[in-house]
Amino acid sequence: MKELNLTEAPSGAELEVLEINAGVVAKKRLISMGIHPGNRIIKFNDSSWGPILIKNITLNSTKLAIGRRLAWKIQVRYDS
């Protein structure tokens, strides 16, 4: 199991959200979008620019686009 931030995680892998290392406003924004610690997500793209597309498979939500600065604050774990 590897722990890293969402921007460094490989695309197509099932990830578990461990924690959100951000301020109150950023945490509220992610929680309002349905991203909580303990949730399982899938990252769809792995480009070096633009937003990161994810889907929360715990809640079976639609795809979300998260900016790179906000995604960098999300710690995830995946099985390599």
Q: How many CA atoms lie within 13 A of 24 on its CB side?
A: 0
Burial class of residue 43 in the structure, from the number of CB atoms within 10 Å of its CB (0-12 exposed, 13-18 middle, 19+ buried): buried
Contact at 8 Å (CB) between 15 and 9? yes
Q: Helical H runs in 1-80?
A: 24-32, 68-71
Percent of the chain with pLDDT over 90: 68
**Mean pLDDT for the chain?**
90
Domains in the chain, start-ordered, CATH in brackets? 2-78 (2.30.30.90)
pTM value surpassing 0.75? yes
17-48 per-position pLDDT tens digit: 999 998 999 999 888 888 999 999 999 987 77
